[in-house]
Amino acid sequence: MDGTTLYFAFGSNLSTARMHICNPNAVRYGIGKLNNYQIDFITYTKTWEGYAGTIVPKKGSHVWGAIWEIKNEDLKALDNQEGVRFNIYHPITVEVETPKGEILQCRSYRQVASAEEVSLESLPEERKPTLAYLKTMINGAVESSLPEEYINFLKKIPDNGASVKPNLKFQFEICL
């Protein structure tokens, strides 16, 4: 894997179509579980016109995701897609466990902002994602063959009721 980085995607980048907007050469490596973290929604993003997912530490919880192999020269496009230059997310290195028990060092992203911990079932209205974001995330989870139990968990996350479509033109422009 010289010249490449493994990337752990847990939100909209579970979807190949979404991932390939900025990273057309990304190759799905497999799936994995990030232990002692949970999904949360803290920051509004223009891309989704709503709140996007992040990972936050939480002992005893876990987040399933797709592991992508990214060429190192494409990391800038991934950083741009994740809003690093706008201080929305910052890259982190996490240990991800594969279904076979292998531990992989992966790049991932956490939102810079923080918020009070709440259960996803009682997510405040001002932190709920759009249905478009959730559908992209859930469809990507299915496409990635994440465990059925986890997909059902994602389906229980409440949306904000907004019927917006993702701003694909903006999504493409942020890659540059």
DSSP letter string, 92-141: EEEEEE-TTS-EEEEEEEEES-------GGG--GGGPPPHHHHHHHHHHH
DSSP letter string, 19-57: HHHH-TT-EEEEEEEEEEEEEEEEEEETTTTEEEEEEEE
Only one residue has tokens 């709440």, namely 118
Among candidate residues 49, 69, 73, 82, the one labeled active-site is 82
Return left, alpha or beta for 77; rule: phi > 0 is left, psi -120 to 50 is alpha, else beta.
Answer: alpha
Please confirm, yes or no, whether 69 is among the known catalytic residues. no
Residues serving a catalytic function are: 82
